Amino acid sequence: MANKNPWRPTRSAKEQFNRQATHYDARWNSWSAETLAALVRLAELQPHHTVLDAATGTGFTALAVAPSVQYVIGVDVSEAMLEQATHQARERGLTNLEFLLASVEQLPLPNHHFDRVTCRLAAHHFTSVPAFLQEAHRVLTRQGLLLIADTVAPADPTAAEWFQQVETLRDPSHVRNYTEMEWRQMLHQAGFHLEVCEVKTEAIPLRFSEWVNKAGCSAEQIAQLRPLFETDLPNQAKQCFAITATPEGDITFAWPRVLLRAQKRYGAPIFSS
């Protein structure tokens, strides 16, 4: 399947996340604990499993699954993120995981090796999601499972366009969020059987001030972003993302999330991206 994504990031994920690494702490990550718990639940991890955590970042997911499995490899393009992940693993005394500097779209890992591949809140940064899915299919064992959690674009085109605008302005490495239907199509084309697709729309509030701080936004970026949440806000986006002004002058909002579990179809055709 050809990659239909017309967007290209103005800053690479490696550059952006090397800049952001120190902003990714436990306080910020706590907002995404729901997706982590759901991903672990869907993975049905076993002590003999080997897990690949794609775009591991500071290792939030890899560190969480390591105590339940035999071995974990976390892969990311950001050296600074992996330094944080390695430090966290040492602090926790975990010895059954390692971190590897590599692109998820071209993994330097053997075929049919992993029982599970996880990818949490990262796929919207990938230049080619189909290429990642092809690689995930390649490295999974015969009955392996792919677990993905990510923010998801709404079906409403006006809200989706606004979502793309603010995410790209905030983070130049952002590529695109996909709709539920697009995920279904990409997984099928990559040779997976989709077993679970859960779209979570209930609000887990984020604060605008923390959201821009996490990305290391400049004052100029913040000045461009704020009107998009206030005076230049379409009604569709306001409703879809539960955007609300707070009494102290901040803004809260909530991104919808998609949780996916897909099983490798052994011998399924793989389409190039």
Whether residue 5 has pLDDT greater than 80: no
Query: Given this model, what pLDDT does residue 236 score?
Result: 97
Chain segment 64-89, per-residue pLDDT in tens? 999 999 999 999 999 999 999 999 99
Chain segment 24-56, per-residue pLDDT in tens? 444 445 557 888 999 999 999 999 999 999 999
The kind and range of the H/E element at 170 are helix 157-170
Query: Given this model, what pLDDT does residue 204 score?
Result: 79
The C-alpha atoms of residue 174 and residue 170 are separated, in whole angstroms, by: 8
Under the banding of pLDDT at 50, 70 and 90, the label for residue 3 is very low
Whether residue 16 has pLDDT greater than 60: no
The kind and range of the H/E element at 160 are helix 157-170
- Cβ neighbors of 221 (< 8 A, separation 6 or more) are 169, 170, 212
- What is the β-pairing status of strands 71-76 and 97-101? parallel
- For 130, the token pair is 């189909």
Asked if residue 64 lies in contact with residue 89, where contact means CB atoms within 8 angstroms, the answer is no
Domain boundaries, the chain: 13-153+174-203+255-264
Whether residue 272 has pLDDT greater than 50: no
**Treating both helix axes as pointing N-terminal to C-terminal, what angle do 219-229 and 157-170 enclose, rounded to 10 degrees?**
160
Query: Given this model, what pLDDT does residue 202 score?
Result: 77
DSSP 99-129: EEE--TTS--S-TT-EEEEEEES-GGG-S-H
Compute the average pLDDT of residues 182-203.
93
As to burial, measured by CB atoms within 10 angstroms (0-12 exposed, 13-18 middle, 19+ buried), residue 269 is: exposed
Compute the average pLDDT of residues 10-37.
55
The C-alpha atoms of residue 257 and residue 264 are separated, in whole angstroms, by: 22
Whether residue 198 has pLDDT greater than 60: yes
Whether residue 7 has pLDDT greater than 80: no
On whether the 13-153+174-203+255-264 domain is CATH 3.40.50.150, my answer is yes
Query: Given this model, what pLDDT does residue 140 score?
Result: 98
Under the banding of pLDDT at 50, 70 and 90, the label for residue 21 is very low
Q: Which of 24-33, 127-136, 201-210, 255-264 has the lowest mean pLDDT?
A: 24-33
Whether residue 17 has pLDDT greater than 50: no
* Percentage of the chain exceeding pLDDT 90: 78
Asked if residue 147 lies in contact with residue 43, where contact means CB atoms within 8 angstroms, the answer is yes
The kind and range of the H/E element at 115 are strand 114-120
Query: Given this model, what pLDDT does residue 50 score?
Result: 98
The kind and range of the H/E element at 213 are helix 208-214
Query: Given this model, what pLDDT does residue 215 score?
Result: 86
Chain segment 103-134, per-residue pLDDT in tens? 999 999 999 999 999 999 999 999 999 999 99
